[in-house]
């Protein structure tokens, strides 16, 4: 029996990939608590945790796109919001 199992697995390579937490990136405690609570609720409802991660990533893309639209549509409130990229040159008198 062991020989048969060995022959079935012969030639199959397993690959492991190490994942690291992103540098210079922190999430608020409120967000992580809410995420854990939502994950627990979805798992209790019968969703696979890996599928939850895939669907969450996909849904977050829509929220980020909406956020970008709102931010780009906001009018500039004051001149202090405009970065001084080019120095103003004053005309010189001759």
In this predicted model, what pLDDT tens digit does every residue of 7-25 receive, in sequence order?
A: 676 666 677 888 888 899 9
4 pLDDT more than 50: yes
Assigned domain for 91 exists: no
Assigned domain for 47 exists: yes
Round to whole Å and give the CA distance between 28 and 14. 36
Assigned domain for 8 exists: no
Residue pair 22/9 in contact by the 8 Å Cβ criterion:
no
Assigned domain for 16 exists: no
85 pLDDT more than 50: no
Assigned domain for 14 exists: no
pLDDT band at residue 80 under the 50/70/90 scheme? low
**Phi then psi for 77, rounded to 5 degrees?**
-75, -45
94 pLDDT more than 90: no
82 pLDDT more than 80: no
Assigned domain for 9 exists: no
Residue pair 39/52 in contact by the 8 Å Cβ criterion:
yes
Domain that holds residue 47: 27-71
Around 44, how many Cα atoms within 13 Å sit in the side-chain half-sphere? 6
**Phi then psi for 89, rounded to 5 degrees?**
-100, 125
Neighbours of 39 (CB within 10 A): 15
What is the tally of structural domains in the chain? Answer: 1
């Amino acid at each position: 029996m062991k020989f048969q199992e060995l022959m079935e697995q012969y030639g199959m390579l397993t690959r492991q990939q190490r994942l690291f937490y992103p540098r210079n990136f922190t999430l608020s405690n409120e967000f992580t608590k809410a995420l854990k609570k939502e994950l627990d609720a979805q798992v209790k409802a019968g969703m696979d945790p890996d599928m939850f991660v895939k669907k969450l990533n996909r849904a977050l893309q829509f929220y980020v796109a909406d956020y970008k639209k709102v931010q780009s549509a906001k009018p500039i409130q004051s001149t202090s919001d405009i970065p001084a990229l080019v120095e103003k040159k004053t005309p010189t008198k001759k």
